[in-house]
C-alpha cells in the first residue's frame, strides 16, 4: 500500500518550471533513491512532500495527509515525516541531547525524563551514545549528521526524507552516515533519499526514480542502474562513476 503518492505535481519558481507532471509512489517500508543531475528537481520534489514548498498543480498524499490541501495541519504532517538536510541544522548553543529533546518536549509535550530517555535511545541507534552532553562544534561532520538523523527519529516519524545528507562529507564520514541509514532501512523505515551515492542506491534501494529536466524520466528497481532504458540515465550513471 502506498504511503506517499505524487500525482502530476507541478512546481514553478516565477517563470521557471522546476517540476513538470511528476508522479511516483512509495510503499510502506520501501527505500526509494531519487537521483538525477543538479537542477533536475529532485530536492524540490522532496521539499514538496514535507510542504516546505507549496506546489502549483497536481496532488501529494503522505501518511493520509493531503499535502496540497490549503487547510493542511502542518504540525501533524511533520510529526509523521522526518527530514534531514545536507546542512545539519543543529542549534550550536544546545547540547546534542537538548537538540534532540526539543521536538518531543515542545511538540509532543513529553515529560522531560521520557524525552531524555528517548534521546539516549536514538543516540544509541546512530552510534552516538557517548555524545549526549557534547555541543555540535565538538563533533565531526559525520557525527553531526548522525545527530541530525537521531533528532528526526526522536519524533517517531512514519517516513524519513534525506536530502543529499552526505554531499558535504569526506568518504570516511560518508560511510558512517550511510551505515546508519542502511540500518534504518533494515528496520523497515519508509525512506526517500536524494543521493549521488550510486553504489549505495544499488545496494539498498527498492526503487530508483531518475529525474531529468523536472520530470520522472525513468523508474524501477535498482537494476535500472545496471541496465538503463534511456540514454539520459546511461549518461548520468557514466558521469557519476
* Per-residue model confidence as pLDDT tens digits over 117-173: 999 999 999 999 999 999 999 999 999 999 999 999 999 999 999 999 888 788 888
Query: Would the pTM count as exceeding 0.85?
Result: yes
Reported as a single tens digit per residue, the pLDDT across 128-139 is 999 999 999 999
Distance CA 133, CA 141 (A): 17
Instruction: From 71, 26, 31, 30, select the one nearest 49 (Cα to Cα).
Output: 26
Number of domains in the chain: 1
Give residue 70's pLDDT band: very low, low, confident or very high (50, 70, 90): very high
Count Cβ atoms within 10 A of the Cβ of residue 231 and give its class: 0-12 exposed, 13-18 middle, 19 or more buried: exposed
Q: Is 70 exceeded by the pLDDT of residue 104? A: yes
Give residue 87's pLDDT band: very low, low, confident or very high (50, 70, 90): confident
Q: Which residues pair with 212 in a beta bridge?
A: 215
Whether the Cβ atoms of residue 100 and residue 85 lie closer than 8 Å to each other: no
The pLDDT score that the predictor gives to residue 241 is: 57
Mean residue pLDDT of the chain comes to 93
Q: Is 70 exceeded by the pLDDT of residue 35? A: yes
Q: Which domain holds residue 52?
A: 2-40+48-240
- Phi/psi at 73 (nearest 5 deg)? -85, 95
Count Cβ atoms within 10 A of the Cβ of residue 232 and give its class: 0-12 exposed, 13-18 middle, 19 or more buried: middle
Distance CA 179, CA 185 (A): 10
CATH number of the domain encompassing residue 128: 3.40.50.300
Give residue 106's pLDDT band: very low, low, confident or very high (50, 70, 90): confident
Mean predicted confidence (pLDDT) in 16-44: 95
Mean predicted confidence (pLDDT) in 64-76: 93
Amino acid at each position: 500500500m502506498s504511503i506517499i503518492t505524487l500525482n502530476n505535481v507541478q512546481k514553478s519558481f516565477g517563470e521557471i518550471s522546476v517540476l513538470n507532471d511528476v508522479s511516483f509512489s512509495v510503499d510502506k517500508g520501501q527505500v526509494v533513491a531519487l537521483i538525477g543531475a543538479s537542477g533536475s528537481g529532485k530536492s524540490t520534489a522532496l521539499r514538496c512532500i514535507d510542504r516546505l514548498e507549496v506546489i502549483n498543480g497536481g496532488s501529494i498524499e503522505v501518511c493520509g495527509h493531503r499535502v496540497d490541501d490549503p487547510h493542511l495541519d502542518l504540525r501533524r504532517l511533520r510529526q509523521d515525516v522526518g527530514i534531514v538536510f545536507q546542512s545539519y541544522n543543529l542549534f550550536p548553543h544546545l547540547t546534542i541531547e537538548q537538540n534532540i529533546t526539543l521536538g518531543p518536549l515542545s511538540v509532543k509535550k513529553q515529560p522531560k525524563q521520557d524525552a531524555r530517555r528517548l534521546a539516549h535511545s536514538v543516540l544509541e541507534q546512530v552510534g552516538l551514545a557517548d555524545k549526549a552532553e557534547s555541543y555540535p562544534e565538538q563533533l565531526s561532520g559525520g557525527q553531526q549528521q548522525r545527530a541530525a538523523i537521531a533528532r528526526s527519529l526522536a519524533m517517531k516519524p512514519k517516513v524519513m526524507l534525506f536530502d543529499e545528507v552526505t554531499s558535504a562529507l569526506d568518504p570516511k564520514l560518508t560511510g558512517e552516515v550511510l551505515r546508519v541509514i542502511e540500518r534504518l532501512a533494515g528496520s523497515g523505515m519508509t525512506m526517500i533519499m536524494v543521493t549521488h551515492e550510486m553504489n549505495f542506491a544499488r545496494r539498498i534501494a527498492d526503487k530508483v526514480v531518475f529525474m531529468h529536466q523536472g520530470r520522472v524520466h525513468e523508474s524501477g528497481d535498482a537494476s535500472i542502474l545496471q541496465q538503463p532504458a534511456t540514454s539520459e540515465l546511461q549518461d548520468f550513471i557514466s558521469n557519476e562513476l
